[in-house]
Amino acid sequence: SVQSAGFLSDWSFTSRVDGINQIQASYVHLYGPGNYIPDVTVAFYSFRVMLGVGALMVLIAGAALFLSIKRKDLFNNRWVLRGLIASLALPYVANTSGWLLGEMGRQPWTIFGLLRTVDSVSPSVSATEVLVTLTLFCVTYGVLAVIDGYLLAKTAKQGSSIEEETDGATETPEKQLVATF
């Protein structure tokens, strides 16, 4: 067991935090024979991806805020705008990584201490039915993603309606943005 990690667990430097081997042994004693260790590699990396992408989103938002406060031509900087567009996928990556962490980290339990994952499989649903359903969901969401990308690109190519509202007056993008609020 590790004593220095107790602070992370319960705000005490003197408490003990058991490691995986100790927890496995205590679960075998409590729940019977079996492997009670989740996939540590998936949990380890999905946590770091989730945290890293979250930090990257905060960094990108902070950089955009800094540039807009310092009047550093945020709206005409091609690299910043491309970076902001590319960052649209980041929340999905963070969300999926967090979901993987939650699902893989709770294994082998569906309900901790009461129902194991192997025991919660429905006997009336075949593996083929699950595969067909999952495939249909993936195809449906793939088609929706393509449609969404097409509509976003079409809308972006049409340009802003701010120019039409200002009757062609030459204003900076910052002033136009403030005028919309």
CA distances from 140 to 133, 144, 145, 152 (A): 11, 6, 9, 18
Q: Give the C-alpha separation, 111 to 177, whole Å.
A: 50
Q: Contact 75/160 with Cβ under 8 angstroms?
A: no
> Above 50 in pLDDT, residue 88?
yes
Q: How confident is the model at residue 48 (pLDDT cuts 50, 70, 90)?
A: very high
Per the omega criterion (within 30 degrees of 0), is the bond before 123 cis? no
Q: How far apart are the first and last CA of the chain?
A: 57
Q: Give the C-alpha separation, 180 to 171, whole Å.
A: 13
Higher model confidence: residue 174 or residue 139?
139
Q: How confident is the model at residue 135 (pLDDT cuts 50, 70, 90)?
A: very high
Q: What is the pLDDT of residue 97?
A: 97
**Span 17-36, average pLDDT:** 91
Q: How confident is the model at residue 14 (pLDDT cuts 50, 70, 90)?
A: confident
What type of residue is 179?
A: A
Angle between helices 90-105 and 40-69 (to 10 degrees): 150
In the three-class reduction of DSSP (H, G, I as helix; E, B as strand; rest coil), residue 170 is classed as: coil
Exposed/middle/buried for residue 106 (C-beta within 10 Å: 0-12, 13-18, 19+): middle
> Above 80 in pLDDT, residue 163?
no
What contacts 179, CB < 8 A, 6 or more positions away? Answer: 162, 166, 171
Q: Which is it for the CA torsion 132, 138, 139, 141, positive or negative? A: positive
> Above 80 in pLDDT, residue 113?
yes
